[in-house]
Every structure is written in structure tokens, then in C-alpha cells.
Structure 1
Amino acid sequence: MLKGRAGTVELLSVIAFAVALSLDGFGAGIAYGMRKIRIPILSLVVISLTSSTTIGISMLFGHLVSEYISIKAAEGIGASILILVGLWIVLHTWSSNTKKTPDDDNREPSGVQPILNFRIKAFGLVIQILREPTVADIDKSGYLSIKEALLLGLALAMDAFGAGFGAAMTGFGPLVTPIIVGVVKFLLVSSGVYIGKRYAAKWLGGKAAVLPGWVLIGLGVARVMKI
């Protein structure tokens, strides 16, 4: 019975982790829906697979590192990484909100806060997509092609690399977790598009931006308490 309960708690933790890493996709979906940009099923699959692959790679690295240190040390380091990534997201979101100008309030929100500000020419387009997700519709066709979906998927997956590394070190399954992340990403992006198109929920994307940070912090603290 205890084992069953532990398994349920573990599954819920993985789902919460997946939701935390997919809320930016939900916000991006709202932005696309509000601007009537369609994301075909195949493009949604590409976005989801990109997230799954990124998480899988980062968790593989985390799992390999954890093999060379004690279980408690690995769990402690992993939990600390989750907390630090969560704090970074929260502080960065608050900082972005405090720097808003009155003109920013009159603009149509993108639903996603900038995650990186590196000035690397090769990644310039990806950085711009993070700042304004609808830029991913490069050809202005009104729908997201597979190539454009890959760019958006990479942009949305950037913040997941560190979190995936930490999650693997705390004991999250390196096979199940990426699958769940991909499924949740698919559901939240498609739900965001529907809500943005149908209800034009402008306020929701901005308010959701800080939630991933708090979820990751909560997961990290919960892992620390288990050590």
C-alpha cells in the first residue's frame, strides 16, 4: 500500500514538473490564439517532441552525474538546482514586470516572458521568439509550419534544460518524465490556442508567467524534505 502511495506521489510530482515546464507554452498558445494564428496538429507534435528531447538529454546528463556521487548528495544538488531555477524564473518575471512602461501595458501581450538575453547571432531569431512568440510565424502565413514549430519548440525548451538536469538528480525517471512533459506541452499549447482564440484571455498569459517558478521551488523543497 505504501509503495502504491509513493508511486502515486511520484507520478503527481512528475506531472507537476511537466506542467511547470509547459506553462510558457500555454502562454504562447494564448498569444497565437488571440492573433488567429493556427498551429496544426503536426506542428504541435514537433513542439512537444522538441521539449521531450531537450528534457531527455538534460536528464541523461543529470543521471550520469548522479552515478558518481552519493544518492543523498545527488538528491540535494538536484533539489537545489530546481529551487534555483524556480527562483530565477520568479525574480526574472517580477523584474520584467517592474520595468514595464505605460506603453507596454497598451500592447498586446505575448503571454511569455523573455527567458534569455544572450546576443549570439546564430540564436538571434530564437531569442526574438522568446520575447514575442508570434514572431515564429516567419512567413506571416497565419499558421505555424513544421520548421517554424521547431524554432518555437527550441525557444520554449531553453528554460527546461537546467530543470531537467536537476530533476534527474533528484530521482525523476529519465524515460517517463520526458514523455509526460511532451504530452502536457501538447495539451497546454493547444488549450492556450483555443482559449486565446475563443476568450481572448489577455490577462491569463501574464499571470501564468510566474507560476512555473513557484512550482519548481515547491518541488525542490519537497525533495529536500525527503532527503
Structure 2
Amino acid sequence: MHWITIILIGIAANLDNLGIGLAYGVKNMRIPVLSNAVIAIMSMIVTYVAVTAGSTVIAYISAHTANLLGSLLLCVIGVWTIMSNRFSRKGIMSNAELFDEDKNYVISFREASTLGFVLSANCLAGGIAIGANGISAIWTVLSIGTFSFLSVAIGSHFGALLTKTFIGKYSTAISGWLLIIIGVFEIFAI
């Protein structure tokens, strides 16, 4: 089994969640456990759908070609992540109040659903690539959900402290490089 890939994809897909958690923590906005769980579940659902779609590709092309395409797709997603100026993430980080509709400095269940949907977009393309590589959907989904929950919790708890750290400043770039490393690792693991 591809345990290293499963763990790294869980981390890479959720470094932005750490940044979002940091942004909320800095502004003293609370993300209760239930709301954090909603964000993680949204990521898990999107990941499962994406991995399933990616694994369907194997039915139409050889497993070797699917693995190669999936690995290359991870590398491309990594490069895109590094190069792009993703408005939605930057908008959320600089305007953490955006999803706090009632302005009570607590992200409610409903507000977490919307935030979770936006953050889960990170899991979509990576999930398709993982599925094309034939990597376990269940373990990938659990990894994504676990790291989503942990990264938002850690980020919001340590907000002011971690924002000034290397991870806080460069979470998007680190995420992109991790995806490239996973893609290269999977190419040579074929």
C-alpha cells in the first residue's frame, strides 16, 4: 500500500486549512469542534467522489498509463498551486470574517458548511490523480479528513503564534511542493 503517499496527500491537501485556521485564530474567531468536523467531512466527501472518478479512468486505459497520468497530474497540480495566486484562499485569509455571516466570531455549523465546501476544492484534482494511481479511496479519505480536522484545530488554536512561522507564511507553496514530490514519488513507484 502507498502509505507515504496517503499521508503526504493528507498533509498537502490541508496546509491551506492550516492557513485558514491561523487567520481565524489571529482574529480570535472560534471554530467549534462540530464546525471543524463539518469542514473535515466536506473535504472527505469531495475527496471520495474525486478518487472514485479517478479510479474509473483505470477501466478505460491501462493501469500503468493511469498511474503515470495520475502522477503527472499531481505534479501539474503542485506547479499550479505554487504559481497561481488563488483568490479564494487569499480572500479568506485576509478577510476571515467573510464566512462569519452573523458576525459573532464563532463559525457555526451552517457557516462551516460553506467554508468546508470552498476548502474542499483543494481535494478535487488531487483526489482524481490519486484515484487514477489506484491508491485506496478509503485510506485517502480518512487521511484528508484527519489532517483537515487537525490543521484547522491547530491553526485556530495557535493563530497569532504560527502566522509568523515559515509554515504559516508559505503554506500554499509547501502544499504545492508536497504534491510535486508525491507525483514524482509515484512515477518512480510504478
Q: So what's the TM-score if we normalise by structure 1?
A: 0.78
2:102 maps to 139
Q: Does 2:163 match 1:201? A: yes
Q: State the alpha-carbon separation in 1 of the partners of residues 92 and 69 from structure 2.
A: 31
Q: State the alpha-carbon separation in 1 of the partners of residues 76 and 106 from structure 2.
A: 36
Q: CA deviation at 1:162?
A: 0.7
Q: CA deviation at 1:224?
A: 1.0
Aligned with residue 114 of structure 1, among 77, 87, 92: 87
Contact 1:48 1:153 (C-alpha < 8 Å) held by counterparts: yes
Q: State the alpha-carbon separation in 2 of the partners of residues 217 and 200 from structure 1.
A: 25
Give 1:161-180 correspondences, 5 Å limit. Answer: 161-180=124-143
Identity of aligned residues (%): 29
Q: State the alpha-carbon separation in 1 of the partners of residues 141 and 29 from structure 2.
A: 27
Give 1:152-163 correspondences, 5 Å limit. Answer: 152-163=115-126
Contact 2:42 2:120 (C-alpha < 8 Å) held by counterparts: yes
| Paired residue total | 189
Aligned with residue 71 of structure 2, among 65, 69, 79: 79
Name the amino acid aligned to 1:143: V
Q: State the alpha-carbon separation in 2 of the partners of residues 223 and 200 from structure 1.
A: 31
Distance 1:131 1:60, change over 3 A: farther
Q: CA deviation at 1:200?
A: 5.9
Q: Does 2:122 match 1:149? A: no
1:54 maps to 46
Q: Does 2:178 match 1:226? A: no
2:148 maps to 185
**Any gaps of 5 or more consecutive residues in structure 1?**
1-6, 97-112, 117-126
Deviating 4+ runs (over 2 angstroms): 113-116, 127-134, 199-206
Name the amino acid aligned to 1:91: M
Give 1:34-49 correspondences, 5 Å limit. Answer: 34-49=26-41
- 1:136-171 CA-to-partner distances (Å, cap 9, x unmatched) read 111111100011101111111112211100011112
Q: State the alpha-carbon separation in 2 of the partners of residues 19 and 59 from structure 1.
A: 16
Q: State the alpha-carbon separation in 2 of the partners of residues 219 and 136 from structure 1.
A: 32
- Secondary structure in structure 1 of the residue aligned to 2:170: helix
Q: CA deviation at 1:202?
A: 3.6
Larger radius of gyration: 1
Q: CA deviation at 1:37?
A: 0.3
Q: CA deviation at 1:129?
A: 4.0
Q: CA RMSD in A?
A: 1.9
Q: CA deviation at 1:132?
A: 3.6
Contact 1:114 1:130 (C-alpha < 8 Å) held by counterparts: no
Q: CA deviation at 1:215?
A: 0.4
Distance 1:209 1:134, change over 3 A: farther
- 1:43-86 CA-to-partner distances (Å, cap 9, x unmatched) read 01000000000000001101111122101011011011101100
Q: State the alpha-carbon separation in 1 of the partners of residues 148 and 93 from structure 2.
A: 16
Q: So what's the TM-score if we normalise by structure 2?
A: 0.92
Q: Does 2:180 match 1:217? A: yes
